[in-house]
Amino acid sequence: MFDYHIHSHFSADCDTAMEDMIQSAIKKGIKEVCFTDHIDYDYPDPDFIFEFNLKEYDHSIQHMKEHYQNHISIKKGVEIGIQPHLLDRYNTLLNQESFDFIICSMHSTDGYDLHSGKFFEGKSLNEAYETYYTELYDCIKTFKNYSVLGHLDLVKRYRYEPGVHHFHEIIEEILKTIIADGKGIEVNTSGYRSGLDSGMPSRDILELYKDLNGEIITIGSDSHVTGTLGYGFQKTADLLKDIGFNYITTFKNRKPVFHNI
């Protein structure tokens, strides 16, 4: 079991100490965790500054790695929040820092954080989805500095109408681009605990990814507290196997490592 999306007190929206996360992961029998704390430049909500001291982060992770080396493997990752005007800035950062793993996520669209709900005001469901996926697609057409795309259909978590068809055609273009670029996607199991009856992305998108010959998939709980580490992983592994995937991926120095499911 590998949890490839966890946060610690380095993230502005998380109070859990790195060491608490690690000790809890060991207790749950998780073999490897990857810290993916938030860097979200220019986040629309001024109450959150999603930046942290990268030297301290590196130092903490190296220290934890050594201290717990006989119990768990620890990787150094980051979750960046992309917006179209920030791509150069992220490239500069990521070209000078070393991470094992980079999650490319979009938490803000059209200048609004999805979390606040403002983004959805005055938009139909379709318009909101169209805007979100178009902006994401536009970013990854030129931005290539990442390992996996985070919670691809996040927009669904904030606006979901039962019975409505939530797929959007642009998703296929996004997946084709990811695959052509040698990148992957994650299954983010926080969907199961935030009102959706699936991880993110949902099964239909995972099936399309498989049909398009996508292979790189990480699983992450997106935990900000210890209680959710490894949440829904067995269910997710079963789902992936059922769809026909044979591997779950981890990363080292930004290179994928494949493990049989």
Residues that bind Zn ion (CB under 5 A): 79, 105, 222
Encoding tokens for residue 106? 């979009």
CB contact at 8 A, 3 and 233:
yes
CB contact at 8 A, 90 and 41:
yes
CB closer to Zn ion, 31 vs 115: 115
Q: How far is the CB of 35 from Zn ion (least distance, A)?
A: 10
CB closer to Zn ion, 210 vs 226: 226
CB closer to Zn ion, 191 vs 214: 191
CB closer to Zn ion, 137 vs 243: 137
Encoding tokens for residue 195? 């009102």
Encoding tokens for residue 110? 């059209």
Evaluated on CA atoms 75, 149, 245, 188, the torsion sign reads positive
Angle between helices 170-180 and 125-142 (to 10 degrees): 20
**Residue 3 Cα to chain centre, angstroms:** 11
Q: How far is the CB of 150 from Zn ion (least distance, A)?
A: 5
CB closer to Zn ion, 50 vs 120: 50
CB closer to Zn ion, 118 vs 210: 118
Q: How far is the CB of 15 from Zn ion (least distance, A)?
A: 15
Q: Looking at residue 105, what DSSP letter applies?
A: E
Q: How far is the CB of 119 from Zn ion (least distance, A)?
A: 15
Q: How far is the CB of 116 from Zn ion (least distance, A)?
A: 15
CB closer to Zn ion, 107 vs 168: 107
CB contact at 8 A, 66 and 133:
no
Q: How far is the CB of 2 from Zn ion (least distance, A)?
A: 16
Angle between helices 233-243 and 203-211 (to 10 degrees): 40
First-to-last alpha carbon distance for the chain, in angstroms, is 10
Within 13 Å of residue 179, how many CA atoms lie on the same side as its CB? Answer: 15
Q: How far is the CB of 50 from Zn ion (least distance, A)?
A: 10
> What are the backbone angles phi and psi of residue 89, rounded to the nearest 5°?
-65, -40
